[in-house]
Amino acid sequence: MKRTINIKEKKLDVSSPIVMGIINVTPDSFSDGGKYVFADDAVRRAVQMFREGARIIDIGGYSSRPGAKDVSEQEEMDRVIPIIERITQEMDIPISVDTFRSHVADESIKFGASIVNDISAGSDDVNMIPTVAKHNVPFIAMHKQGQPSNMHINPQYSNVLEEVYSYLKQVIYKCKSAGIEDVIVDPGFGFGKTTTHNFKLLNHLNEFKSLNVPLLIGVSRKSMIYKTLGITVQDALNGTTFLHAFSLNKGANILRVHDVKEAVECLRLFDQIKKY
């Protein structure tokens, strides 16, 4: 597996797992919606995540929760770009822009973003992969089935593990052929998948290591946790931490999380176990 990611002529080491902190600057994201719509609050949270040990900050201005409302490209840019610009002025940390729109990615990179995180892996915008290649930034390619407005309605697979793996393998080839040097894959927990699909993917996570690229896991506070346990999203931190530990043991390289402090503690304990 490639052990470093090139970010603005620097190397980010992922041979030991790292944490990506999530900041959704939206009013309706499933966990933190409405908390960081004001720039000062978002920047303050980014500083806190940095101090707690996040190695990447992921900024999203378009809610992709099941049934989420569509927003215009301009509104998405109005949400994310001022915050990306502010964070780059405050601290030296890679910023990932969470978008499936090439123009949003293009503008965000101009204002300081150094990674593109696309829930559609370039399939929703034919210009996304060429845009990422042009800027020579890392690309996080996620698998999803359907669109945020309908992906929760009866998703079907013949074999979810084989289909997600095959899709990501094809995306890696497409990205590499376009000139993208650093590709990171995300199986897309909750994106057009039932709870059963999610747990099957999680249990066989180690099989994705043969793709030979870094593996990002996004299970933080998701419905696979709180629906299984019969709790609320607000009470899903303990379950999240367990799945993070399980994911690390199965080969995860990047944990995309809402709760940085707890995830970093999980990493530290995992690293300690590996010494013995």
Calculate helix-pair angle for 160-178, 128-135, nearest 10 degrees: 50
Helix (H) or strand (E) holding 154: none
Give the position of tokens 């509104």: 75
- List of residues 6+ apart from 144 with CB closer than 8 A: 119, 120, 151, 188, 191, 192
Which residue is catalytic, options 222, 227, 274, 275? 222
Determine phi and psi for 103, rounding to 5 degrees.
-70, -40
What are the angstrom distances between the C-alpha of 65 and each of 8, 79, 151?
Answer: 31, 17, 9
230 phi-psi bin (left φ>0, alpha ψ -120 to 50, beta other): left
Q: Can you tell me which residue has the tokens 């503008």?
A: 107
- For 150-158, which contacts have Cβ atoms below 8 Å and span 24 or more sequence positions? 151/66, 151/191, 151/192, 152/66, 152/67, 152/192, 155/192, 155/193, 155/194, 155/197, 157/193, 157/197
Q: Which pair of tokens denotes residue 175?
A: 């990205």
11 is catalytic: no
| Catalytic residue of the set 101, 193, 221, 256 | 256
From residue 128, give the alpha-carbon distance in Å to each of 43, 118, 173: 27, 9, 15
- Tell me how many degrees the CA angle 58-63-68 measures, rounded to the nearest 5: 165
DSSP string, 26-66: SS--TTTTTTS-SHHHHHHHHHHHHHHT-SEEEEE-S--ST
Q: Decide if 222 is catalytic.
A: yes
Residues belonging to the active site: 222, 256
